[in-house]
């Protein structure tokens, strides 16, 4: 064959070989780029718990990878950047002492907070590789639900005259959904049973006797569920209410009349006045009574005490004359 004719064939063969080599290099996926795989793109965690954002990368390079994790919200926030497992620079205050990076690029978070909720993006690059591997994981952080309770204005209503609203309330919990039960059976929206958009409120319009039953609500979120204690809704008929009121009024009236008829004012016993006791005078040794004691006399039915006192006095002017005329006693 003519040498001039062989030259074009040789150039064509060489170009085909180079094309196949380049195609094989790109198709192998490890020579010019870092491949990142994400086993689970959604991780659920609880407040105060732990979360492992697991990734794997592959590369034919023996150099340490440069790993960068970002949290994407309104704007991307750098969570951590490391060479291998060695963290570069200082962490943000909210991530200090809460983060570890493993050799395969996995990110470990502990003592989770509600603010950790979001989409995490990882980028792994190696100097010898042309392309950087990327991955994305969604972390959902929720709070456990506390036991719910049913709040309402009243649990006793009158038939056909009132509407009543039951409120399923609870203190803790995120991403909650609600379900209502009547007598243990699930409730759905019907003509007279109206639920709010989030099904947190249950309104019964124009209550009927058929609504007299036991009600409960269940609160659910991605990390658990809790059911409230059942409450009893009591519905009274109109006629029954009137009978109860009239019977109660008659009973109170009879009771009042009976009490008034049996009650009499109490009378105090009058005691006769005590008479003062007479006080006897004490006889002195110097009294010249001749030794007579006080005499008790009765005058007109009243005891009286009379005392005779004899006072003997000598008159100096008449003493001598009387003694001369009569004589000495």
Give me the CATH code for the 28-142 domain, please.
2.60.40.10
> Over the stretch 131-183, which tens digit does the pLDDT of each residue have?
889 999 999 999 999 999 999 988 888 888 778 999 999 999 999 999 999 99
pLDDT at 131: 81
Residue 70 sits at φ, ψ, to 5 deg, of -130, 145
Report the alpha-carbon distance of residue 131 to residue 145 in Å, rounded: 45
Report the alpha-carbon distance of residue 257 to residue 253 in Å, rounded: 6
pLDDT at 257: 79
CB count in 10 Å sphere of residue 34:
25
**Intra-chain end-to-end CA distance of the chain, in Å:** 216
Q: Topology of 149-238 in CATH?
A: Immunoglobulin-like (2.60.40)
- Extract the tokens encoding 159: 């038939």
C-alpha neighbours within 13 Å on the C-beta side of residue 313:
5
- Extract the tokens encoding 256: 């009042």
- Per-residue tens of pLDDT for the chain, all 329 residues: 444 444 444 444 444 444 433 444 444 444 468 899 999 999 999 999 999 999 999 988 888 899 999 999 888 899 999 999 999 989 999 999 999 999 999 999 999 999 999 999 999 998 877 788 999 999 999 999 999 999 998 888 888 877 899 999 999 999 999 999 999 999 987 778 888 888 999 999 889 998 999 999 999 999 999 999 999 999 998 775 555 666 777 778 788 878 777 766 655 555 555 655 555 454 444 444 444 445 554 445 444 444 444 444 444 444 444 444 434 32
Nearest to 105 by CA among 128, 89, 129, 121: 121
pLDDT at 9: 41
C-alpha neighbours within 13 Å on the C-beta side of residue 260:
6
149-238 and 28-142 share a CATH fold: yes
pLDDT at 254: 83
Please, which residues have CB within 8 angstroms of residue 226's CB and are 6 or more apart in sequence? 145, 146, 147, 148, 170, 218, 219
pLDDT at 127: 81
CB count in 10 Å sphere of residue 8:
9
- Extract the tokens encoding 40: 């689970």
Please, which residues have CB within 8 angstroms of residue 223's CB and are 6 or more apart in sequence? 44, 46, 142, 143, 144
Give, as one character, the DSSP assignment of residue 272. Answer: P
Q: For the chain, what are the domain ranges?
A: 28-142, 149-238
Report the alpha-carbon distance of residue 99 to residue 108 in Å, rounded: 6
pTM, rounded to two decimals: 0.60
> Over the stretch 196-208, which tens digit does the pLDDT of each residue have?
888 999 999 889 9
């Amino acid at each position: 064959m003519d040498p001039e004719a062989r030259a074009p064939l040789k150039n064509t063969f060489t170009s085909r070989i180079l094309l196949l080599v380049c195609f094989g290099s790109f198709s192998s996926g490890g020579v010019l780029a870092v491949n990142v795989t994400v086993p689970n793109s959604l991780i659920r965690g609880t407040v105060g718990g732990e979360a492992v954002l697991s990734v794997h990368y592959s590369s034919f390079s023996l150099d340490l990878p440069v790993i960068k994790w970002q949290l994407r919200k309104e704007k991307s926030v750098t969570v951590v950047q490391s060479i291998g497992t060695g963290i570069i620079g200082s962490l943000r205050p909210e991530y200090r002492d809460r983060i570890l990076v493993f050799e395969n690029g996995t990110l470990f978070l502990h003592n989770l907070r509600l603010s950790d909720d979001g989409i995490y993006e990882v980028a792994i690059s190696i100097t010898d590789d042309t392309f950087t591997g990327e991955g994305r994981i969604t972390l959902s952080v929720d709070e456990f639900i506390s036991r719910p309770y049913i709040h309402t204005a009243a649990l006793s209503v009158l038939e056909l005259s009132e509407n009543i609203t039951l409120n399923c309330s609870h203190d803790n919990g995120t991403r909650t959904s609600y379900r209502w039960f009547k007598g243990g059976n699930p409730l759905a929206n019907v003509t007279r049973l109206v639920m709010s958009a989030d099904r947190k409120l249950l309104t019964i319009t124009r209550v009927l006797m058929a609504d007299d039953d036991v009600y409960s609500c269940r609160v659910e979120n991605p990390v658990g569920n809790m059911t409230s204690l059942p409450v009893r809704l009591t519905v009274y008929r109109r006629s029954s209410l009137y009978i109860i009121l009239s019977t109660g009024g008659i009973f109170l009236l009879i009771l009042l009349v009976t009490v008034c008829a049996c009650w009499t004012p109490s009378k105090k016993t009058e005691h006769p006045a005590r008479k003062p006791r007479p006080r006897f005078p004490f006889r002195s040794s110097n009294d010249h009574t001749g030794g007579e004691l006080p005499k008790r006399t009765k005058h007109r039915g009243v005891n009286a005490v009379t005392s005779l006192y004899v006072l003997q006095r000598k008159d100096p002017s008449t003493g001598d004359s009387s003694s001369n005329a009569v004589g000495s006693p």
